[in-house]
Amino acid sequence: MTIAAVLLGALTTHLTNYAMERNRNRQALLTRWDGSKLSAYENYVDTVRACIFLAVELYEVKNDLRTSTKTEAELLLELGQAGRERGRAFERVMLLGGDDVVEAAHQLASAGAQVDWQAKGTAEGTLDDWRERNRVVFREINEFHEQARVDLGVQGSVKGEKHPERDLLLPPQSRDNDSAGA
């Protein structure tokens, strides 16, 4: 009877240690993936925003809304390179992201492409169309943030009552022209 109790105690200790070690390894793996996901999500948003800023500069130069030290050809080249970087960042999100994050990334990629296309002249549109495309892409960035936060287990939200939707930041004369039907 004593031998059976010792064997049962040893078996219980072994199983407990095994379960604890397995749980510790699982937790370490989750932490490692969360760090990789955060890096991928952050890089994707950075590359999307870089493309938007280059597209805005190109659009405004092409439409005589601003001057630049760069030519249209140089801006097109920069936008193309930024687009390739955005594509690589998108692939990392596809590899690491949860289903909802991946879907939000697809929506963001689509909205970003619309901005690029109008800036390049591939898609036609008015100044109002341009501004609406930019509004959409920034809403999609917020949706991507929202899904990434959920996937990473971050508390809170970037949308809702505490964070109302904001419009584009436009200089005063642009806002006045916009309301006059520019």
Q: Per residue in 136-177, pLDDT tens?
A: 999 999 999 999 999 999 988 777 666 667 777 766 665 555
76: tokens are 């097109």
Rounded distance between C-alpha atoms, residue 39 and residue 43, angstroms: 6
pLDDT of amino acid 33: 75
Determine the pLDDT at residue 162: 61
Q: Give 103: exposed, middle or buried? Use CB within 10 Å, 0-12, 13-18, 19+.
A: middle
Q: Please tell me the distance from the alpha carbon of residue 107 to that of residue 180, in angstroms, as a whole number.
A: 31
Confidence at residue 168, expressed as pLDDT on a 0 to 100 scale: 73
Amino acid of residue 134: N
Average pLDDT of the chain?
Answer: 86
Where residue 121 falls (left for φ over 0; alpha for ψ -120 to 50; beta otherwise) is: left
Distance separating alpha carbons of residues 106 and 124, to the nearest angstrom: 22
pLDDT at 4: 75
DSSP state of 122: S
CA distance 106 to 123: 19
Predicted pLDDT at 13 = 78
Per the confidence metrics, is the pTM higher than 0.85?
A: no
Side chain identity, residue 20: M
Closest by alpha carbon to 40, among 93, 85, 86, 84? 93
Q: For the chain, which ranges sit under pLDDT 70?
A: 8, 14, 17-19, 23-32, 160-164, 170-182
